[in-house]
Amino acid sequence: MHPFDAEKPPQLALLLGYAGLVPFVSGALGIWVTPEGWRPFVLEALLDYAAVILAFMGAIHWGLAIRGEDAGEHAQIQLGLSVIPPLLGWLAISAGLPMSLALPLCLLAFLGLYFADLRAVKLGLAPGWYPSLRKPLTWVVCLSLLLAWASVWVR
């Protein structure tokens, strides 16, 4: 069986995907337990990491689109979609947005990425197992960003 046709994600992809959640979870929880003077640094670190991962995820879609060039217009649209997440991440960290706007911007970008993931699978650009990897990762990332966003409003 070709790995593209597998039902379950490769073990290494699962391991690395879950390892990539550590900064999200530790950042989101850290905001609530660190001394107040450190909280802005923890928020900034979480936002910076979110922007990096948005760029990483956009690059995945770039690669899928290039790999699927024979998919024609669908691959070209996927290629165009691939640049949106890093641009949103860049905007979140470089435009001087308040955390009350930067965090939900990243949250929406991650949700949009998940739908782009589903689209890539539907078009045959990504493997069928990809949603079973991305769904729990997306949930944890979004919950982490929501928890961080809540800290902005509560404190």
pLDDT in tens, 34-59: 999 999 999 999 999 999 999 999 99
Which residue is it, tokens 């995945």? 60
| Averaged confidence pLDDT in the chain | 92
Check residue 67 and give its pLDDT: 79
Query: Which residue stretches of 68-129 are H helix?
Result: 73-81, 84-94, 99-122
Q: pLDDT value at position 5?
A: 63
| Ranges of each domain in the chain | 22-154
Q: Is the pLDDT of residue 124 over 80?
A: yes
Q: Is the pLDDT of residue 74 over 80?
A: no
Q: At residue 109, does pLDDT exceed 70?
A: yes
Burial of residue 36 (CB within 10 Å: 0-12, 13-18, 19+) is: exposed
Provide the pLDDT confidence category of residue 3 given band limits of 50, 70 and 90: low
**pLDDT score, position 2:** 53
Rounded mean pLDDT, 150-155 = 87
Query: What pTM was computed for the model?
Result: 0.92
Predicted confidence band of residue 155 (pLDDT cuts 50, 70, 90): low
Q: How far is CA 46 from CA 22, 24, 68, 70, in A?
A: 11, 6, 33, 38
